[in-house]
């Protein structure tokens, strides 16, 4: 297989008017912007018509009519629609935490919304069950005047915040956002995992580092990160595998598996599929097609 060359995303400038804190854009297109790109603004996008694939950083996702995604600030992404479904229609809400909006969200009554945005910097897909509720909020925002749009935007964030426990990042790991209390311990533990995930790290070793029993460590880690220790470690390893599979040094899947910290190709295939929903071989094909179609 010909190696896949890494492509640096285009830094895209969203045409946000100077008199808008929240910018709404409705698109009717033959196809989405075709290049891997990123922009400073967060983007909440509602796919009203169309279907295809979304590449975010190092992960491939499928989208269809009515799906809603949040893309983080400067998160590399590209939508590739399936041409058999015809044109695409979408509504996007762009906002930045720099400037006026950050000051507004820092007031005590709205600070939880700022925390929500900060903790979801790697983006997410709205679960299917909640699509009607969130799409109604987006529709109300689109149809409001300038002041009404800002108010509707806060209600939209409030609705999304209620789904926090059901959201999964589109790529990488969940932002820590641990807060001040107890943050040093969990940050230290997560940094250790970030630097050593390729090694054979066991539960007992991590519990000892945290000065906890294995059972207490499992409870503490899940409460602090929202994930079990094994899930967190596996996602780090799969993230590295995606990076290697999409890079210019990609050789073969079995080598990638061992270089990412997995002890067997069987376990790697199983974990990879459980996290991304597709096999490593299919991921390589999809990644290549998205970048070079």
| pLDDT at residue 26, as a whole number | 94
| pLDDT at residue 267, as a whole number | 94
pTM of the model: 0.67
| pLDDT at residue 176, as a whole number | 45
211 within some domain: yes
Residues 196 and 246 in one domain: yes
Which range of residues forms the domain containing residue 54?
10-166
1 within some domain: no
| pLDDT at residue 7, as a whole number | 54
Residues 20 and 124 in one domain: yes
Residues 155 and 214 in one domain: no
Give the CA count within 13 Å in the CB-facing half-sphere of 48: 13
Report the number of distinct structural domains present in the chain.
2
Distance CA 189, CA 207 (A): 10
Distances (CA, A) of 9 to 76, 78, 166: 6, 9, 29
Strand ordering across the sheet containing 88-95: 22-29, 88-95, 42-49, 68-71, 124-125
| pLDDT at residue 278, as a whole number | 84
Q: Which of 166, 194, 209 is the last residue of a domain?
A: 166
Residues 162 and 214 in one domain: no
| pLDDT at residue 4, as a whole number | 37
Q: Which residues of 244-281 are buried (b: 16+ CB within 10 A; e: fewer)?
A: bbbeeebeebeebbeebbbeeeeebbebbeebbebebe
The per-residue pLDDT string of the chain (293 residues; one tens digit each, 9 = 90 and over) reads 333 344 568 888 898 888 889 999 999 988 888 888 999 999 999 999 999 989 888 778 889 999 999 999 999 999 988 877 778 999 999 999 887 888 898 888 898 998 899 888 889 999 999 999 999 999 999 999 888 999 999 999 999 999 988 888 887 644 444 444 446 788 889 889 989 999 999 999 999 999 999 999 999 998 887 789 999 899 889 888 888 887 766 678 999 999 999 999 999 999 998 887 889 988 888 776 665 55
Q: What are phi and psi of 59, to 5 degrees?
A: -125, 145
């Amino acid at each position: 297989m010909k190696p896949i060359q890494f492509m640096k995303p285009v830094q895209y400038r969203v045409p946000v008017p100077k008199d808008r804190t929240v910018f709404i854009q409705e698109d009717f297109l033959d196809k989405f912007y075709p290049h891997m790109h990123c922009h400073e603004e967060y983007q909440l996008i509602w796919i009203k018509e169309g279907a295809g694939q979304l590449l975010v950083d190092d992960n491939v996702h499928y989208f269809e009519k009515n799906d809603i995604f949040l893309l983080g600030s400067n998160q590399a992404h590209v939508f590739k629609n399936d041409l058999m479904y015809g044109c695409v229609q979408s509504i996007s809400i762009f906002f930045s935490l720099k400037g006026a909006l950050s000051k507004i969200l820092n007031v005590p009554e709205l600070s939880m919304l700022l925390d929500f945005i900060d903790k979801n910097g790697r983006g997410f897909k709205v679960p299917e069950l909640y699509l009607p509720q969130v799409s109604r909020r987006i529709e109300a925002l689109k149809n409001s005047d300038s002041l009404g749009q800002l108010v509707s935007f806060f209600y939209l964030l409030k609705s999304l915040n209620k789904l926090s426990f059901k959201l999964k990042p589109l790529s990488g790991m969940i932002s820590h956002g641990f807060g001040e209390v107890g943050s040093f311990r969990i940050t230290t533990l997560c940094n250790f995992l970030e630097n050593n995930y390729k090694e054979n790290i066991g539960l007992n070793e991590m519990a000892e580092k945290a000065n906890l029993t294995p059972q207490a460590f499992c409870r503490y880690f899940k409460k602090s990160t929202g994930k079990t220790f094994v899930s967190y470690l596996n996602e780090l390893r799969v993230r590295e595998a995606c990076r290697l599979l999409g890079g210019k040094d990609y050789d073969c899947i079995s080598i990638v598996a061992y270089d990412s910290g997995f002890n067997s190709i069987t376990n790697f295939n199983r974990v990879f599929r459980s996290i991304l929903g597709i096999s490593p071989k299919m991921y390589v094909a999809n990644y290549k097609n998205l970048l070079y179609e």
